[in-house]
Structure formats: structure tokens, C-alpha cells
């Protein structure tokens, strides 16, 4: 007899550069539960789940499914064992339709071609079965983030997943999309599925999860019934010290406006208004929020403020320190002290295949300090990268980590 649907015993993962992502981790799943894995960025959550999904091989340790020892050497091995994973950064082909993405790698055939009608039918049938409404013929690039996540979940379910791993599933969702996701996950649990919910949002963990495994610095700090631990206790185990969960805002003195938007209007190439008569100012020392339902111009506003809009006409002015930047390129705007962290950092924010140093250099490669004649100054670039990473660690006031841990996204 077995007591766990899945067990991971003594899992250790050491990368070639010496970074220890997991150290002697024990993890188990019960059938039909929603099990949270909580921890700070770099705690080892995602690495542990990638090992479960066959994307990484453990340096040490064993995996058991229904009491049987298994070796998962690829994602296909995990899929064959009924494990599916929805990654934090979606693994969808933007130019394909929902149906094409759903059957990718298991395409129904008609002669030598793909039977698209059958792909649509399979998508509709799976969506009805799990009550997750999607448009099979819609292009993925036109979908909202929440809808893309539904497609990823349905992809895993179509392939027979009974264990579903969700890596930071609410990181890019609106509150309304998060509530909808929670309803869908509870329905899946009622249908007998087992769900792993990776997150560091404690309110969400408490709201939906049955049990929680807490990780810190690559190790497990224990497994608890979520109803038996408070947010304060969870956060203490996550970071190793007491954490202030409530923040009392003070009234701060602010300076003159550093950003002023006056009568900003933007039309697309066809003359359709994307923005109309936008007016606001941001003063030094302020945090200004911009709120709205997705698709109501927030993206275009940010693009107008960061020099990313192309092929459009605009009216009004966008002043940074008194200079109108509407006709400035991105690098010139950066020189004025404007930076942008996009909602999709993997697609828009970084070159994921490049090194930390190369990414940091992307806005400074033109400067004389980074050039040595016809070539870039490699030693100076390396020193800059190390100094910026060290400064980042000091500003965050977090525990010291090897620089290598910052090169591969969330562990």
C-alpha cells in the first residue's frame, strides 16, 4: 500500500557552476489536493518542479509515483506518467491558433497534412469536459494573459495530466482573472486532479491550498496544513526572520514634476484613437498607479512614455525633466533616467539567451567607457555587471547569493 500519489525523496540539485538549487528535499503529494510550494525567489521551488516534470535531472534523490520508483529523464516521461506543467512563462506559439497549440506534438493527421477540423473538435471537447471556455480558432497572440493560461492548462489536460503543476500562476493575472483561475482549480480538484501551486503570495496560498511545503535556500522548512499556520508563520519560515506584513504609509514631501503628460493622444496607422487627451504629472518621490481593465490603453500609454510606440501619430506632449520625449529614441530616453520593466520580462525585457553582462550592456554599449577601439571593453563590462549585481543585492537587503543564481530566472 502507498500513502502518497507522488514522492520525491532526498532530492539534491547542484549545477555545474556550483550553485546548489535543492539540498536533500523531501516532497509528497496526496491524491486530490491542492498543494502549495512557497518560498522567496531563488528558494528552489521551480527547480524542484522541473525535476518532477523531467526537465532537470537530480544530482541525488529518488522519485516514486504510486509507490513505484521512476526515472523522469524528459518532459515526455513525465507526461506519460500523468504529470503536466504550466510554466510561469507560457510555452505557446503566438502565431498559431489555440487548436494548433493544443495538439502540437500530437497532431491528428489527414493524409500528409494536419487535420485541423479534428484539432478544433479535440479542443472544444476538452474545453467542455473541464468547463474552460476557449476559442479554438483564435490566434494565441491575440489572447489575454488569462486566456493563454487556460490554453496551457487545457494542453496539459488533453495529454492526460492528473497531476498539474502551476508555476507562479497568478504572477501576471488581474484580481478578476485570479478569482476565475481559483474557481477552475477547485473544479479540477473536485474531478480528482492533484494540483501543485507554486507561489509566494501568502493570501492566495491560504485561500486555495490544502497543504503547504515551505522552502528556503534550496531546503524544505516543513509541510503544514494551511489552516494550521498563519501568514506570519509562513513568512518567517520562508525568509528566516520576522517579516512586517503591513506597511504604514507616511506622508512624504514631494518635489517638482519629473514627468508631465499634457493632452496626449495617440492614433494607430489607420487613424483609430488608442489614447485620447491624457493628462497627469508625476513628482519626485511619488509612486503613481495607473489602473484599468486590460485593453483600455495602459500598454500604449507606457509605450508612449518609454519611446516604444512605432507607426503611430501622436498629439500633446510627454515631458521628462522639461524635455519632450515623443520624438526621442529609447536610448536617449534612458539617458534622462527613465527605465521600464515590462509585464512580460522574458519576451520584452531581456535577451534570455544572453548573459547578465550582455543584458546590462544593452543601453550602454555606445558609450566610450564600454568601447576599446573597434571592440567592446570586456574587462570593464564584467566589472560593471558584478558591481550592479552587488548593488542590487545591497539595495534589496536580502541574504547573499552567488551571482550565478541570478542568471537563470526564478529557481
216 belongs to a structural domain? yes
Confidence at residue 199, expressed as pLDDT on a 0 to 100 scale: 87
Number of domains in the chain: 3
pLDDT band per the 50, 70, 90 thresholds, residue 411: very low
Would you say residue 25 lies in a domain?
yes
150 and 119, same structural domain?
yes
Exposure string for 105-123, b = 16+ CB within 10 A, e = fewer? eeeeeeeeeeebeebbebb
180, 205: one domain = yes
Query: Looking at the structure, do residues 91 and 139 belong to the same domain, yes or no?
Result: yes
Q: Phi, psi (5° rounding) for residue 280? A: -170, 165
pLDDT tens for each residue of 384-407:
888 888 887 777 654 444 433 333
Are 108 and 142 in a shared domain? yes
Same domain assignment for residues 75 and 201: yes
Which among 13-27, 255-269, 306-320 has the top mean pLDDT?
A: 13-27
The per-residue pLDDT for 191 is 92
Indicate if 226 and 259 belong to the same structural domain: no
Residues 6 or more apart whose Cβ sits within 8 Å of residue 364? 370, 384
In the structure, what pLDDT confidence band is assigned to residue 57 with cuts at 50, 70 and 90?
Answer: very high
Please name which of 214, 233, 197 lies closest in space to residue 26, comparing C-alpha atoms: 214
**Same domain flag for 260 and 308:** yes
Q: What's the CA gap between 378 and 370, in Å, rounded?
A: 8
Strand partners, 320: 259, 323
Tell me how far apart the alpha carbons of residues 323 and 99 are, in angstroms, rounded to a whole number: 48
Asked, for residue 346, whether it belongs to a domain, the answer is no
Higher per-residue confidence, 151 vs 351: 151
Classify strands 163-167 and 83-86 as parallel, antiparallel or unpaired: parallel
Q: What whole-number distance in Å separates Cα of residue 132 and Cα of residue 366?
A: 49
Specify if 244 maps to a domain: no
Q: Write out the residue range of the structural domain in which residue 139 sits.
A: 6-239
By C-alpha distance, which of 29, 46, 30, 50 is closest to 38? 46
Segment 367-372 mean pLDDT: 77
Indicate whether 25 pLDDT > 90.
yes
pLDDT tens digits for range 99-124: 999 999 899 988 888 899 999 999 99
Pairwise CA distance, residues 293 & 279, whole Å: 19
Q: Is residue 345 in a domain?
A: no
Asked if residue 140 belongs to a domain, the reply is yes
Same domain, 271 and 206: no
Q: Does residue 246 contact residue 296 with C-beta atoms inside 8 Å? A: no
Say if residue 315 is in the same domain as residue 377: no
pLDDT-derived band at 23, boundaries 50, 70, 90: very high
Contact 188, 182 (CB under 8 A): no
On whether residue 259 sits in a domain, the answer given is: yes
What CATH number did the domain enclosing 123 receive?
Answer: 3.40.50.300
> pLDDT for 313-354, tens place per residue?
778 888 998 888 877 877 788 888 888 887 667 677 788 788
Do both 98 and 161 map to the same domain? yes
Amino acid at each position: 500500500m502507498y500513502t502518497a500519489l507522488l514522492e520525491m525523496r532526498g532530492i539534491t540539485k547542484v549545477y555545474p557552476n556550483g550553485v546548489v538549487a535543492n539540498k536533500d528535499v523531501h516532497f509528497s503529494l496526496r491524491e486530490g489536493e491542492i498543494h502549495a510550494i512557497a518560498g522567496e525567489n531563488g528558494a528552489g521551488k521551480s527547480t524542484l518542479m522541473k525535476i518532477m516534470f523531467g526537465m532537470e535531472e537530480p544530482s541525488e534523490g529518488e522519485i516514486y509515483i504510486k509507490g513505484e520508483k521512476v526515472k523522469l529523464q524528459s518532459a515526455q516521461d513525465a507526461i506519460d506518467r500523468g504529470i503536466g506543467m504550466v510554466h510561469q512563462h507560457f510555452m505557446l506559439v503566438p502565431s498559431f491558433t489555440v487548436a494548433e497549440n493544443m495538439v502540437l506534438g500530437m497532431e491528428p493527421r489527414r493524409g500528409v497534412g494536419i487535420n485541423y477540423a479534428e484539432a478544433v473538435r479535440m479542443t472544444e471537447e476538452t474545453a467542455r469536459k473541464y468547463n474552460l471556455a476557449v476559442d479554438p480558432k483564435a490566434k494565441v497572440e491575440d489572447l489575454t494573459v488569462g486566456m493563454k493560461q487556460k490554453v496551457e492548462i487545457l494542453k496539459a489536460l488533453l495529454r492526460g495530466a492528473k497531476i498539474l503543476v502551476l508555476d507562479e500562476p497568478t504572477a501576471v493575472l488581474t484580481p478578476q482573472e485570479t478569482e476565475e483561475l481559483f474557481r477552475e482549480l477547485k473544479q479540477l480538484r473536485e474531478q480528482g486532479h492533484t494540483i501543485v501551486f507554486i507561489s509566494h503570495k501568502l493570501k492566495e496560498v491560504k485561500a486555495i491550498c490544502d497543504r503547504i511545503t515551505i522552502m528556503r535556500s534550496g531546503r524544505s522548512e516543513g509541510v503544514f496544513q494551511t489552516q494550521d499556520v498563519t501568514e506570519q508563520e509562513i513568512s518567517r519560515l520562508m525568509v528566516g526572520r520576522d517579516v512586517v506584513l503591513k506597511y504604514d504609509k507616511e506622508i512624504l514631501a514631494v518635489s517638482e514634476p519629473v514627468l508631465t503628460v499634457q493632452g496626449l493622444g495617440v492614433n494607430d496607422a489607420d487613424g483609430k484613437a488608442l489614447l485620447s487627451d491624457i493628462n497627469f504629472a508625476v513628482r519626485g518621490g511619488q509612486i503613481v498607479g495607473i489602473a484599468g481593465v486590460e485593453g483600455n490603453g495602459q500598454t500604449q500609454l507606457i509605450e508612449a512614455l518609454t519611446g516604444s510606440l512605432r507607426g503611430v501619430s501622436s498629439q500633446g506632449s510627454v515631458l521628462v525633466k522639461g524635455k519632450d520625449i515623443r520624438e526621442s529614441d529609447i536610448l536617449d530616453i534612458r539617458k534622462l533616467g527613465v527605465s521600464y520593466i515590462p509585464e512580460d520580462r522574458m519576451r520584452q525585457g531581456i535577451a534570455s539567451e544572453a548573459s547578465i553582462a550582455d543584458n546590462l550592456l544593452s543601453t550602454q554599449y555606445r558609450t566610450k567607457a564600454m568601447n576599446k577601439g573597434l571592440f567592446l571593453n570586456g574587462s570593464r563590462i564584467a566589472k560593471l555587471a558584478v558591481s550592479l549585481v552587488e548593488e542590487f543585492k545591497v539595495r534589496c537587503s536580502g541574504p547573499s547569493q552567488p551571482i550565478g543564481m541570478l542568471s537563470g530566472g526564478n529557481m
